[in-house]
Each structure stands twice: as structure tokens, then as C-alpha cells.
Chain A
Amino acid sequence: GENVEQHPSTLSVQEGDSAVIKCTYSDSASNYFPWYKQELGKRPQLIIDIRSNVGEKKDQRIAVTLNKTAKHFSLHITETQPEDSAVYFCAASKASGTYKYIFGTGTRLKVLA
């Protein structure tokens, strides 16, 4: 069935360093890939997304890359700050009529000051 694998499950970086989170999806028909940030006890917030007709997208310190052939996509955060500490979820979706998301299992990012 549809599946999204996400690695690593936890990631600790020093403030100012970069963080990379990787996701692999199983359904080759997936064409939309959002990333959500969820702080403790709060709602998931969309931070960036990418569609399958684009290989890379950047928004200030955040970037996402997509490799359709390998069926994986990655979140890159540069110049990390303590406020980047949260759980990050990737998801995959396809235009099949429902647009439902299949979420990864999450990555807990800790930025050490």
C-alpha cells in the first residue's frame, strides 16, 4: 500500500548548522509533497511544499528537493535557530480525486544553543 518513510527519527544539531530530513514515498503517482512543522502541543503548520514538476524550491532558510526517479524528497534547513526545534512531518499526495496525505513518521529536531 501507500507508504512514506522518514529519516532520521531524531536529529540534534548545533545552532547555525544545517539540518536535513529525508523522505521516501512508494506511490509513483504522488505529485504533491508538503512539509509540516509541529511544535509541542500545537497544530501542524505548513512550512514549504513542492509539486512534482519542480525539482527544488527554496524559501529563505528552508529548501525542499525532489527526486522523482528515486521517489524521495528532502527538507533542508540552513543556519538553524533554537526556534526551529520541533517535529517535522513530510507527506505525499496524489491527484486521484481525494488528494489525501500519507504522512511520514516524523523527525524530532533539536537545535542546541
Chain B
Amino acid sequence: EAGVAQSPRYKIIEKRQSVAFWCNPISGHATLYWYQQILGQGPKLLIQFQNNGVVDDSQLPKDRFSAERLKGVDSTLKIQPAKLEDSAVYLCASSLAPGFETQYFGPGTRLLVL
């Protein structure tokens, strides 16, 4: 089966600019996750969707980060305005549904904020 797709793979922006990332989960997967992975650290959950509803966004910096999952399939994560500390890899993952614990990850988007 096709895996989780993400784009772009790399992005370089100036601080205070905005940026958006896109994720297409595995077909049929109801749950979608966005993680932030800072160099040398484990992934940290930013937001979790169940279909098109938000299940957990407790660690999302809502003053600058936003995410949506229209129609319960693709998702976008936006940062506006970006800060230097937002430099990281943004990983998208999906799982079949609650009760199916395994998450499958996309290749990630590497963001560098200058």
C-alpha cells in the first residue's frame, strides 16, 4: 500500500515569514498526527485529528501554529510567523483508527528558519 505522503520535503524561510506543510495519510486511515522533531530529540506531538475533528492539540503553539484536516483526509500545518526555534523536521503520521495503535510516518518536511 502507498505510505504517508508529505510535501515539500525541504523548506528554507526567513523568520517572521509563513510556511505551510501538506500531508496525505494512508488511504482509509482515520487518525492523523503532526509531530515536531527537533534535531537530536524524539518526535513531539503537535496535533492529532480523528477524521476532521481535533482530538489533542495541547502542545500546539496556537499563537503561531494552525492545522486543519478538511474532509477528513489531507491535512495542512501552517506556521505564521515563523521563529528560529521552529527549525525542525515536521512529521505526519496516520493510524487506522482508535484501537489500532500503530502509527505510520511520512518522510517529513525539514524546515530551516533563518
A residues engaging B (CB < 8 A)?
Answer: 4, 6, 32, 34, 36, 42-46, 49, 89, 91, 93, 95, 97-101, 103-106
Contact = CB atoms under 8 A, between A and B. Distances in A.
A105 B91 contact: no
Given A43-B107, A43-B108, A44-B43, A100 B91 contact: no
Nearest to B44: A103
B42 A42 contact: no
Contacts of B40: 105-106
A100 B37 CA distance: 15
B4 to A, nearest CB: 8
A34 B93 CA distance: 14
A63 B41 CA distance: 24
A103 B45 CA distance: 9
Interface residues of B, number: 25
A100 B40 CA distance: 21
Contacts of A34: 101-103
B108 to A, nearest CB: 6
27 contacts: A6-B42, A34-B101, A34-B102, A34-B103, A43-B4, A43-B91, A43-B106, A43-B108, A44-B91, A45-B105, A46-B103, A49-B101, A89-B42, A93-B101, A98-B48, A98-B55, A99-B95, A99-B98, A99-B99, A99-B101, A100-B33, A100-B45, A101-B103, A103-B43, A105-B42, A106-B40, A106-B42
Interface in B22-47: 31, 33, 40-45
Interface in B3-33: 3-4, 31, 33
A31 B41 CA distance: 23
